[in-house]
C-alpha cells in the first residue's frame, strides 16, 4: 500500500559520480578481431605466452554464444561497436605519483580516493584503474618490505611473469564462459596481489575502478595469490559517468588460497545504473571465482551491489582443500529499471569443507532482482556442510524478486541447508516508525539497513559505514 510516488522519490538519489574527466586519451579504433588483440598485447609489451593466451581465448569466444539463461532482458550488445583499449595519455615512464596527470589525481580526489603522498588514505593501499589502465598504486614500498606485491597486472606481467604464467587462467579458464573468454582475449589492466608465505598483509588493499569514456568497454583482470598461512583483505570500488549509451564491463577476478591462507574480497559496486527510464548505465558481466587449493584455506566474498543497469555476477568458491571454507555475503539493491541476476557457486570437492551464503536482495521501482546460486557436493566431499539464506525485500508494488537455488549432491554424508524469505516494507511498519517521530526517509533507511545487517557485519569497518551510507543515499530524496 506504500504510495508509489513516495517510494519513487525516496529511492531515487541523483548519481553523484556521474561526471566525466576531460582528458586526452589514446584509443584504438572500434571493433574486435585478432589484430585488435595483437595491438593490445603489443601496446602492453607482453610476452608471447600471454598473446597466445589471448588469441586462444578469442578463438574460443568466437565459437561461443552469449548466455541467455539469466533472468535479464537487454538490447543485444554489438561487440564490434566497442573500443577495447582506451588510456589517458601520460608520460612514457612515471617514476612517482607526483608525475601523474593532475586531472587524474583530481578525478580520484573527487571520488573520495586521494592518491598523492600528502593526502592518501592512511590505512589502505590503493590501485587506481582509469578506463583500461592502472594509473597509480599507493604504499608499494611499505608493502614490499613485507614481501607483499601489490601492483597493476600489466606491471606484474613484466616483473613477476612466472607467477602470472602459473596462475593466470588457473581458476577461471579462458573458455569458462562467454564473458570470461572475452575478458581473457582483451583484458587491459587490473590489480595483482601476492602475499608470501606466513605474511598477514599489514593493511587492507583496494582497487578503485573508474570507467571514464562512454564508448570503450572496461575489461579488467584481478589476480590474488595468498601463499601458505598468509592472509589479506581486499576491497574493490567502482563508479562511472552518466552516459545515455550502455558501457560493457566484463571483468575476471581469480583468487588462489593455499594451505591455511585466507582471502577476504569485498566489493562496493556503484557503476552508473542508467536513468529512471532505463536509458544508459553499465552492463556488468563479471566472473569472480576463488580456489581454496590448500587445506583449511578460506575465501570470503562480500559484495554490495547498487549500481549498473545490468548485473550478472556469481562470485564463487571451489573448495578443493580439505576443511576449506567458502563464504558469500551479498546485498544487491535495484531500483527503477535495473536488473540484477547475482549469487554464488559453492563447489565442495574436498572433505569436510564448509560454505555459508547470505544474500539480501532489495528491489524498488520496476526493477528485477534475482538470486541465483549453486551448491554442489562432490563425491569426495564427505562431512561437508552448506548453509544458505536468501532474503528478498520489496519496496513498492512494481518490483520483482526471484530466488533460484540449485543444489546438487553426490555425497550422502553432507548437509545442505537453504532458507529463503521475502518481505515487503509495509505501510504499517512505516507508520509505526513515523508515529514515533522518525521521518519517512530515515524509517525506510533503518529498515533497509536492518535487513542488510548480517551482510554489513561482514564488511571491513570503513567499508561497512560506506555501504550503509551508499544505501541510505540511494534511498534518500525529497518525500513528496
Partner 1 sequence: MQSKTKELDPILEVNNLFASIENLPILKGVTISVNPGEIHAIMGRNGCGKSTLSKIIAGHPSYKITKGEIKFTGNDIHSLEPEERAQSGIFLGFQYPIEIPGVSNLEFLRVATNARRKFLNKEELDTFDFEDLVKEKLDLVKMDSAFLSRSVNQGFSGGEKKRNEILQMALLEPKIAILDETDSGLDIDALRVVASGIKKISNEQTGIILITHYQRLLDEIQPDYVHVMSDGQIIKTGESDLALELEKHGYEWTDNFIKEQ
- In three-state secondary structure terms, 29 is coil
245 vs 426, beta carbon nearer partner 1:
426
Q: Select 181 or 358, whichever has its Cβ closest to partner 1.
A: 358
Residue number, 275 or 429, with CB nearest to partner 1 = 429
Kindly determine how many residues on this chain lie close enough to bind partner 1 according to the rule CB under 8 A: 25
Chain positions 51 to 70 lying near partner 1, rule: CB under 8 A, are none
User: Looking at beta carbons only, is 262 or 403 nearer to partner 1?
Assistant: 403
Identify residues 439-478 at the interface with partner 1 (CB under 8 A): 439-440, 442, 446-447, 449-453
Cell numbers given for 3: 504510495
Tell me whether residue 245 or residue 434 sits nearer to partner 1 (CB atom): 434
Looking at the Cβ atoms of 118 and 461, the one nearer to partner 1 is: 461
Q: How far is residue 379's CA from residue 348's CA, in Å, rounded to a whole number?
A: 9
**What is the residue-wise DSSP string for 31-77?**
--SHHHHHHHHHHTT--HHHHHHHHHHHHHHHH------SS---PPP
CB under 8 Å to 158, separation ≥6 — which residues? Answer: 45
List CB contacts of 408: < 8 A, sequence separation 6 or more.
374, 375, 376, 377
**Residue 220 DSSP one-character state:** B
Q: Which of 20, 144, 420, 423 binds partner 1 (CB under 8 A)?
A: 423
Give min distance, CB of 395 to partner 1, in A.
14
Of residues 33, 434, 457, 480, which one binds partner 1 by CB under 8 A? 434
Choice between 181 and 304, CB closer to partner 1:
304
Residues whose CB is less than 8 angstroms from the CB of residue 198 and which lie 6 or more positions away in sequence, other chains included: 227, 228, 229, 230
CB of 430 to partner 1, least distance (A): 9
Piece of the chain touching partner 1 by CB under 8 A; list 89-97, 147-155, 158-166, 422-430: 422-430
Q: Does 109 bind partner 1 (CB under 8 A)?
A: no
Distance from C-alpha of 449 to C-alpha of 365, rounded to nearest angstrom = 18
168 or 452: whose CB is closer to partner 1?
452
User: Quick one: which segment of 10-18, 160-168, 233-241, 433-441 binds partner 1 (CB under 8 A)?
Assistant: 433-441
> Residue 137, exposed/middle/buried by CB under 10 A (0-12, 13-18, 19+)?
buried
| Options 103, 276, 431, 465; binder of partner 1; rule CB under 8 A | 431
In the complex, what is the shortest distance from the CB of residue 136 to partner 1, in angstroms, rounded to a whole number? Answer: 39
Minimum distance from residue 397 beta carbon to partner 1 (Å): 15
Q: What is the DSSP letter of 116?
A: S
**Of 59-67, 142-150, 273-281, 427-435, which segment contacts partner 1 by CB under 8 A?**
427-435
The residue among 413 and 421 lying less far from partner 1, judged by its C-beta, is 421
Residue 2 or 258 having the CB closest to partner 1: 2
Which of residues 23, 163, 429, 462 is near partner 1 by CB under 8 A?
429
Q: How far is the CB of 457 from partner 1 (least distance, A)?
A: 12
In this complex, which beta carbon is closest to partner 1, that of residue 28 or of residue 446?
446
Cell digits of residue 46 = 607482453
Cα distance between residue 70 and residue 458, in whole Å: 27
Q: Is 374 in the site for partner 1 (CB under 8 A)?
A: no
Q: Which of residues 177-196 bind partner 1 (CB under 8 A)?
A: none
- Rounded least distance, CB 472 to partner 1, Å: 13
| Options 38-46, 382-390, 419-427, 469-477: segment touching partner 1 (CB under 8 A) | 419-427
Q: Residue 411 and residue 352: Cα distance in Å, rounded? A: 11
List Cα–Cα distances, 65 to 68, 177, 344, in angstroms: 9, 9, 22
Q: 178 vs 7, 66, 367, CA distance in Å?
A: 37, 6, 25
The reply to whether 435 sits near partner 1 by the rule CB under 8 A is yes
User: Distance between CA atoms of 231 and 217, rounded to whole angstroms?
Assistant: 32
Residue 401: closest CA among 467, 451, 475: 451
Q: Binding pattern to partner 1, positions 2-21, x when CB under 8 A?
A: -x------------------
Question: C-alpha distances in angstroms, 29 versus 242, 326, 345?
Answer: 22, 42, 37
Residue matched to cell numbers 582475449: 185
Q: Which residues here bind partner 1, judged by CB under 8 A?
A: 1, 3, 423, 426-429, 431-440, 442, 446-447, 449-453
Amino acid at each position: 500500500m506504500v504510495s508509489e510516488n513516495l517510494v519513487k522519490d525516496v529511492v531515487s538519489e541523483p548519481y553523484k559520480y556521474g561526471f566525466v574527466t576531460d582528458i586526452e586519451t589514446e584509443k584504438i579504433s572500434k571493433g574486435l578481431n585478432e589484430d585488435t588483440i595483437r595491438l593490445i598485447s603489443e601496446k602492453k609489451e607482453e610476452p608471447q605466452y600471454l598473446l597466445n593466451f589471448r588469441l586462444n581465448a578469442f578463438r574460443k569466444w568466437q565459437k561461443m554464444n552469449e548466455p541467455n539463461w539469466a533472468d535479464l532482458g537487454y538490447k543485444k550488445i554489438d561487440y564490434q561497436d566497442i573500443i577495447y583499449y582506451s588510456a589517458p595519455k601520460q608520460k612514457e615512464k612515471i617514476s612517482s605519483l607526483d608525475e601523474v596527470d593532475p586531472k587524474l589525481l583530481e578525478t580520484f580526489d573527487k571520488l573520495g580516493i586521494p592518491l598523492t603522498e600528502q593526502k592518501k588514505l592512511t590505512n589502505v593501499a590503493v590501485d587506481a584503474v582509469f578506463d583500461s589502465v592502472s594509473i597509480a598504486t599507493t604504499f608499494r614500498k611499505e608493502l614490499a618490505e613485507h614481501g607483499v606485491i601489490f601492483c597493476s597486472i600489466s606491471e606484474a606481467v613484466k616483473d613477476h611473469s612466472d607467477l602470472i604464467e602459473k596462475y593466470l587462467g588457473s581458476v577461471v579458464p579462458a573458455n569458462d564462459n562467454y564473458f570470461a573468454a572475452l575478458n581473457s582475449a582483451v583484458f587491459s589492466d587490473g590489480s595483482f596481489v601476492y602475499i608470501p608465505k606466513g605474511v598477514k598483509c599489514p593493511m587492507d588493499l583496494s582497487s578503485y575502478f573508474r570507467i571514464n569514456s562512454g564508448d570503450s568497454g572496461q575489461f579488467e583482470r584481478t589476480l590474488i595469490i595468498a601463499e601458505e598461512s598468509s592472509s589479506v583483505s581486499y576491497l574493490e570500488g567502482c563508479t562511472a559517468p552518466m552516459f545515455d549509451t550502455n558501457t560493457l564491463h566484463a571483468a575476471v577476478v581469480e583468487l588462489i588460497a593455499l594451505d591455511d591462507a585466507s582471502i577476504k574480497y569485498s566489493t562496493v559496486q556503484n557503476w552508473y545504473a542508467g536513468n529512471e527510464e532505463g536509458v544508459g548505465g553499465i552492463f556488468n558481466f563479471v566472473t569472480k571465482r576463488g580456489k581454496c587449493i590448500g587445506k583449511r584455506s578460506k575465501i570470503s566474498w562480500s559484495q554490495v551491489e547498487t549500481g549498473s543497469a545490468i548485473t550478472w555476477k556469481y562470485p564463487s568458491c571451489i573448495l578443493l582443500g580439505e576443511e576449506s571454507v567458502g563464504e558469500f555475503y551479498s546485498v544487491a539493491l535495484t531500483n527503477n529499471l535495473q536488473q540484477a541476476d547475482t549469487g554464488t557457486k559453492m563447489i565442495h570437492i574436498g572433505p569436510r569443507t564448509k560454505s555459508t551464503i547470505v544474500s539480501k536482495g532489495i528491489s524498488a521501482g520496476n526493477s528485477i532482482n534475482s538470486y541465483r546460486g549453486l551448491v554442489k557436493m562432490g563425491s569426495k566431499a564427505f562431512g561437508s556442510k552448506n548453509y544458505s539464506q536468501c532474503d528478498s525485500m520489496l519496496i513498492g508494488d512494481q518490483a520483482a524478486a526471484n530466488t533460484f537455488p540449485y543444489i546438487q549432491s553426490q555425497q550422502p554424508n553432507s548437509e545442505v541447508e537453504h532458507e529463503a524469505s521475502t518481505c515487503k516494507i509495509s505501510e504499517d511498519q512505516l507508520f509505526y516508525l513515523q508515529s514515533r517521530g522518525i521521518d519517512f526517509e530515515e524509517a525506510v533507511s533503518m529498515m533497509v539497513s536492518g535487513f542488510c545487517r548480517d551482510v554489513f557485519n561482514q564488511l571491513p569497518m570503513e567499508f561497512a559505514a560506506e555501504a550503509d551510507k551508499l544505501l541510505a543515499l540511494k534511498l534518500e530524496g525529497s518525500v513528496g
